[in-house]
């Protein structure tokens, strides 16, 4: 018995030695010492590495993927022993539980990034997540608003308080955060331009207490909603993971959350809009109405210099802005469309007008020309125009 154990131990040692020689030859020798578990590495990466390089919303997506899906699904494995099949089984499980392919794809992108960092630091000899196959997702088809829908939407918007905000989105393609983050100091009346420098973003509150899990204990979700659910208008939230540290909005020492000014997405996002004459006039009229509101509010007015405000001068909340957009579509009799579709519409209008690519990139705040393929769409009007041009070219030539 002892001889068999010794023989097995020697065989394992020889295999490990051969692996070490192979890694040496490939230049991929792992660091010495006890390796990480997947959970330990993911926690280290999400808490100490990722926050240094990514923006807030990207980090929030990473956190959801790590704490809600990756750690419960594959966290117990040794980092160096993880295989592509582990990830593929996890993705299949997520899809089997009813989650959308886009969610599984977000999990895949997150773990691929996290394991790529582990590979660069020598904790792994290969990134198994990069080898794993992610679920296929169908690209969502976007149909920009046509000219008639745009006119109806503009007419309805201008009957509302802060309606110019939606005109900005349709005419110039301003992102939601960019529009809500505009201040009067950004308006140059002499040149009739509007500068984009910051964006307004709602961020999650952070715990300021010593025990975040215990602090939020009364708010932990332990089970899924019974279906059909009459409480939630959006998809029901998942139950909280073990050791949940969320619910910081209820912490008496909370900090860092609420509406926050942040830098725009990229250097290209720092741009200046040349305002069409009509839009410039609408902004001046909006400012006059806001002055009357300020006088009416008196000492209750919060002077933050925001262009679009609540009746007390505070900035608009993105959630309330989203609901305003939905009700505006209904009121205008326009089909359901995403908030971001206004940006697709603005880009497509620039295509119809034949604006040069370099100018389009500047107006839209794109860093690469490849964004054209995502935001500019061939509409029925464009196809009809092509047909008429072809008709004029071929049949005019034939007649002559």
pLDDT digits (tens, 9 = 90+) for 294-312: 999 999 999 999 999 999 9
**CA–CA separation, 195 and 46 (whole Å):** 34
Question: What tokens appear for 263 in the block?
Answer: 């830098």
Does this model's pTM top 0.85? My answer is no
pLDDT on residue 245:
84
Asked whether the predicted pLDDT for residue 1 surpasses 70, the reply is no
Other beta carbons less than 10 A from residue 176's beta carbon:
21
| Residue written as token pair 């923006």 | 55
Asked whether the predicted pLDDT for residue 264 surpasses 90, the reply is no
Question: What tokens appear for 43 in the block?
Answer: 């926690």
* DSSP assignment letter at 192: T
Written out in words, the top-level CATH class of the domain with range 147-202+265-342 is mainly alpha
**CA–CA separation, 328 and 69 (whole Å):** 37
330 compared with 289, residue with greater pLDDT:
289
Burial class (CB in 10 A: 0-12, 13-18, 19+), 181: buried
- The mean pLDDT of 50-62, rounded to a whole number, is 92
Tell me phi and psi for residue 96, to 5 degrees. -65, -25
Buried b (16+ CB within 10 A) or exposed e, 188-209: eeeebebebbbbbbeeebebee
21-131 domain in CATH 1.20.58.100?
A: no
Break the chain into its structural domains and give their ranges: 21-131, 147-202+265-342, 205-229+243-256
Asked whether the predicted pLDDT for residue 29 surpasses 90, the reply is no
**CA–CA separation, 46 and 36 (whole Å):** 14
Q: For the CA atoms of the chain, what is the radius of gyration?
A: 27
pLDDT classification of 112: cutoffs 50, 70, 90:
very high
| Residue written as token pair 């608003």 | 145
- The mean pLDDT of 109-138, rounded to a whole number, is 93
Q: Which residues contact 234 (CB under 8 A, 6 or more apart)?
A: none
331 and 156 Cβ atoms separated by less than 8 Å? yes
Percentages (nearest 5) of helix, strand, coil residues in the chain: 55, 10, 35
Beta strand extents in the chain (DSSP E only) = 187-188, 193-196, 198-203, 258-263, 271-274
pLDDT on residue 46:
95
Secondary structure class of 78 (helix, strand, coil): strand
pLDDT on residue 2:
46
Asked whether the predicted pLDDT for residue 396 surpasses 70, the reply is no
**CA–CA separation, 84 and 89 (whole Å):** 9
Sign of the dihedral through C-alpha 197, 63, 236, 133? positive
**CA–CA separation, 138 and 349 (whole Å):** 25
Mean pLDDT of the chain: 83
Question: What tokens appear for 348 in the block?
Answer: 């497509």
Burial class (CB in 10 A: 0-12, 13-18, 19+), 47: exposed
208 and 251 Cβ atoms separated by less than 8 Å? yes
pLDDT classification of 240: cutoffs 50, 70, 90:
confident
Question: What tokens appear for 42 in the block?
Answer: 């993911």
20 and 92 Cβ atoms separated by less than 8 Å? no
pLDDT digits (tens, 9 = 90+) for 115-124: 999 999 999 9
pLDDT digits (tens, 9 = 90+) for 139-156: 666 777 777 888 888 888
- Checking DSSP bridges between strand 187-188 and strand 193-196, what pairing results, if any? antiparallel
pLDDT classification of 379: cutoffs 50, 70, 90:
low
Long-range contacts of residues 326-329, Cβ cutoff 8 Å, at least 24 apart: 328/153, 328/156, 328/157, 328/160, 328/166, 329/153
pLDDT digits (tens, 9 = 90+) for 318-354: 989 888 888 888 888 887 776 567 777 777 777 666 7
């Amino acid at each position: 018995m002892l001889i068999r154990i010794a023989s097995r131990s020697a065989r394992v040692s020889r295999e490990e030695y051969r692996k070490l020689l192979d890694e040496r030859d490939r230049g991929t020798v792992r660091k010495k010492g006890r390796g990480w578990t997947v959970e330990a590495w993911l926690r280290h990466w999400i808490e100490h590495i990722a926050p240094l390089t990514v923006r807030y919303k990207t980090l929030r997506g990473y956190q959801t993927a790590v704490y809600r899906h990756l750690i419960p699904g594959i966290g117990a494995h040794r980092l160096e022993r993880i295989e592509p099949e582990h990830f593929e089984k996890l993705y299949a499980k997520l899809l089997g539980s009813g989650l959308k392919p886009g969610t599984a794809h977000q999990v895949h992108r997150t773990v691929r990034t996290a394991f790529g960092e582990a590979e660069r630091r020598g904790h792994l000899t290969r990134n198994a997540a990069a080898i794993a196959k992610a679920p296929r997702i169908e690209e969502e088809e976007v149909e920009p608003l046509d000219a008639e829908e745009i006119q109806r939407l503009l007419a309805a918007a201008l009957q509302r308080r802060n309606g110019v905000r939606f005109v900005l989105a349709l005419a110039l393609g301003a992102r939601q955060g960019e529009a809500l983050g505009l201040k009067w100091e950004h308006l140059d009346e002499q040149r009739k331009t509007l500068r984009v420098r910051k964006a307004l973003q709602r961020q999650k509150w952070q715990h300021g207490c010593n025990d975040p899990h215990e602090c939020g204990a009364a708010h932990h979700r332990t089970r899924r909603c019974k279906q059909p659910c009459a409480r939630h208008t959006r998809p029901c939230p998942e139950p909280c993971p073990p050791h949940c540290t969320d619910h910081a909005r209820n912490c008496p020492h909370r900090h860092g959350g609420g509406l926050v000014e942040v830098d725009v997405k990229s250097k290209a996002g720092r741009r200046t809009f040349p305002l069409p004459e009509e839009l410039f006039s609408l902004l001046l009229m909006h400012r006059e109405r806001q002055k009357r509101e300020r006088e009416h509010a008196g000492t209750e007015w919060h002077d933050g210099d925001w262009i679009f405000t609540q009746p007390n001068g505070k900035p608009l909340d993105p959630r309330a802005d989203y609901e305003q957009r939905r009700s505006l579509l209904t009121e205008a009799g326009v089909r359901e469309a995403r908030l971001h579709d206004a940006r697709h519409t603005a880009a497509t209008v620039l295509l119809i007008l034949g604006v040069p690519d370099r100018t389009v990139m500047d107006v839209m705040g794109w860093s690469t020309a490849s964004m054209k393929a995502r935001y500019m769409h061939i509409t029925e009007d464009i196809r009809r125009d092509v047909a008429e041009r072809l008709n004029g070219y071929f049949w005019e030539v034939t007649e002559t």
